[in-house]
Amino acid sequence: VNRGYTFDNAGWAKATNHPVQNVNWYDVVKWCNARSEMEGLVPGYYTDAAQTMLYRTGQVDVASACVKWNGGYRLPTEAEWEKAARGGASTYHRFPWTDAETIDWSRANYYAVANVQNSHDANPTSGVNPAFTSESPYTSPPGFFAPNGYGLYDMAGNVWERCWDWYDDGYYSSSPGTDPRGPASSPQGYRVIRGGSWNDMAHSSRCASRAYADQAQAYSGVAGFRCARAL
């Protein structure tokens, strides 16, 4: 049963066991609602602050007050995403693993650049990971690389992951210290993406690396998402 949902881009994946991509921010937010309804959970996104009008269609810049944060599936906030990427490590690490501060093709699907200026890129050769070039886009299946400390896969590379937050360069200089949910708007008009992709260099795969994307644009081959749920 469709229940009135409409989507701008259906999204697609190289195979059934590869991450979806070519989806915009509005569509993945609506998809989170649809998944919640399908599983009998309380949907998270509404078009009104009273949280009575479920977000199912159109392109709506949902406000924070219109979100049931303890409801069903939703996009992670940027802060939630970074905490998940760090995998519970008690000290700072550049990448989602804790046994090295470097990256190579044995750890993630990213675009390697082998030169002395990329000291944290330990791959001996440059380019996309040859293990996944049989068909474009060059994504990898979840589970190919080792998980991080939380048991999460592909927190570095593969496809960019959309987050809830509007993007603002200076937000964290004045944000709440606990569970920040992002600014009310973005000077650039963009939403946060995290994690890098198969087509991006090592610095984009760092846990702390921040990037942004147009929420209405579907980026073919490199931008997808993962769902979050409150505990």
Nearest CA to 20 out of 160, 121, 118 is that of 160
- C-beta separation of 103 from 120 below 8 A: yes
Prediction pTM value: 0.95
pLDDT of residue 1: 63
The whole-number pLDDT of residue 44 equals 97
Q: CA torsion sign, 92 to 96 to 98 to 102?
A: negative
End-to-end CA distance of the chain: 28
d(CA 73, CA 225): 12
**pLDDT (0 to 100) of residue 115:** 82
Element (H, E) at 25: helix 25-38
Q: How high is the pLDDT of residue 119?
A: 85
Q: What are the pLDDT tens digits along the chain (231 aa)?
A: 678 999 999 899 999 999 999 999 999 999 999 999 999 999 999 999 999 999 999 999 999 999 999 999 999 999 999 999 999 999 999 999 999 999 999 999 999 998 867 789 999 999 999 999 999 999 999 999 999 999 999 999 999 999 999 999 999 999 999 999 999 999 989 999 999 999 999 999 999 999 999 999 999 999 999 999 988
